[in-house]
Chain A
Amino acid sequence: MALIKLNTRSIPDNAVTPAKVSQNLGRRNILRNGAINVAQRGTIFSPTNGQTYIFDGFLATVGSSFNMDTTVTQSSTVPTGEGFSKSIKVTPDSVVSSSGSHNGGIAQRLEVQNVNHLGWGTSSAKSLTLSFWVKSSKTGTYCVQLQQNATSSGSEYSHVKEYTIATADTWQKVILTFPGNTTQAAAGSSNADGLRVNWWLVCGSSDHTAADSWAQTASYQATSNQVDFMDNTSNTWYMTGCQLEAGDNTTEFEHRSFGEDLAACQRYFYKWTSTGLSDHYNFYSPYTPNQVTAGLPNSSAISPMTFPTTMRAAPTVTGTLASGSLNRATSTPFGVVFQVAATSGGTNYPTAFSATAEL
């Protein structure tokens, strides 16, 4: 019997049907650390009147030097059965009245290059759907603001949406779909602050606006319905499972491994601690004593470090040594070189440092 040789060319195109799979597979969450698992800086913070970076990816943000006198902790209180183990918990430490442009809340900032794929500033701008789990002892209306930065002041855009907490102390999933901004593209250098998600807890009356439309403003904004979370020190507000994805629909939260989230977060903040041994991080001089005496350009002792992830920009660095103090630390997005002035004998090495390249 004769055998027929088959290959893919033998199969007519119309005999194959596409796989029935979602069009939205792969990485969907534009936010980092949405499950609040990564906390390199620590697990408890006391924000007041400045921008305070808290758990990786998030900051406590205020407007007009408002005193958001709160304690923010990484909590183990989570919605049941959703696979989360951590949440953000905020509670006021004192009752603080807001007025004028006083605002306070939790935020995440995104690089321009991480939102360019949305096609904003064109007629085909994609919408964004934000989902998160929240519970609070303070019922009422809360606001989330998308804030789009631009290269020049006055060109920023804002879009506010409301959500309601109807039942106190009960976890609920909030889903908000923001239309794409057809007017303004994310602008600035690719690693600049391009888009902010602001979860407001309090907003002064000067910054009240209408919900559900894009408006050109640089202000932090919420609607007049925004509750005053700072009116009672017994108030609590929890959030976890934050996901921002392109399109009109939300999908199940994309749980990532701790290592994946940590690496994503280390682009913006990296904390290193020594083993306690000098190891190979000892300061050393690249020159022989004779060369140093001859006055070569770099007579100080150095200790170079390489970051595990290329950082967003050259970071601000602070560090400690086994003895003495640093003369200089010179950073790039790839690493840092610590320098001390002395090249004479003795052992010295960095014991800890942190590098910050937040937005």
Chain B
Amino acid sequence: MERRNDPTRLSLPSDLEIVVTRDFDASPAALFQAWTEPARVRRWVPCPTMTMPVCEIDLREGGPWRWVLRDPATGVDHPLSGHYTDVARPDRLVFTRRHESFPGSDHVVTVSFVERGGVTTVSQVFLHPSKQSRDGHLASGMEVGLEETWLRLADLVGASASASAARANP
């Protein structure tokens, strides 16, 4: 399989976390802006079939944020909100996050931007208060039928030890 265009890595380093990592050919400053300025957020967060009627960002520690993603086909809104707890431009952004339609979905997201040689590694850590909440978030995805391999299975089962080993797999 071609992995070159599919560079997002996922690992489950503990029972409470989901970690999503990807490299970008951009500066931490540009990426930090992409996460924190509504006009930029709107450009990449909603998928092409969705709209984003609300994108409020009060970027300061303790400041609230609220995004609403709308699926015009079904009329379903996905309201996400929380507040910022650490704003360290352009290295790190920490905020609480909840899906308002799902009570108990509260978790903490830490996004970090680490540059090396012109390439910035974005790492998003979703930290949940309980394993049920973490698993629910992971499973909240979609019924996308995807071909599975034992390789990915092994990645998952030994997720804590093999995050980097899995990356090396073609």
Co-assembled chains A and B? no
- Which of B's residues lie within 8 Å of A, judged by CB? none
